[in-house]
């Protein structure tokens, strides 16, 4: 018996230009998290020539 592993790669590019100077930013990335328990999303953010990268992992929410 063979197991089949499906992988989905999804790339989204969003650019925002001509914004005022920022002191902070809050990011959220939940794409496909409702479908896969092992989903990980990566977000790269570039501002004033500096690049920051973040990894978002699925967190199981328990209902009480």
Task: Answer yes or no: pTM beyond 0.75.
Answer: no
Looking at the predicted structure, is the pLDDT value of residue 12 above 70? Answer: yes
Selection from 27, 38, 32 nearest residue 60 by Cα:
38
- Cα 16 vs. chain centroid, distance in angstroms? 17
Query: pLDDT-based confidence at 18, cuts 50/70/90?
Result: confident
- Locate tokens 């790669």: which residue? 9
Percent of the chain residues topping a pLDDT of 90: 5
How far apart, in Å, do the first and last CA atoms of the chain sit? 39
Distance CA(33)–CA(56), nearest Å, equals: 9
């Amino acid at each position: 018996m063979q197991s089949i592993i499906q992988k989905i790669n999804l790339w989204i590019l969003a650019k925002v230009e001509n914004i005022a100077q920022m002191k902070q930013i809050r990011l959220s990335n939940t794409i496909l998290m409702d479908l896969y328990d092992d989903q990980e999303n990566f977000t790269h953010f570039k501002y004033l020539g500096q690049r920051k990268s973040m990894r978002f992992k699925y967190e199981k929410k328990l209902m009480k």
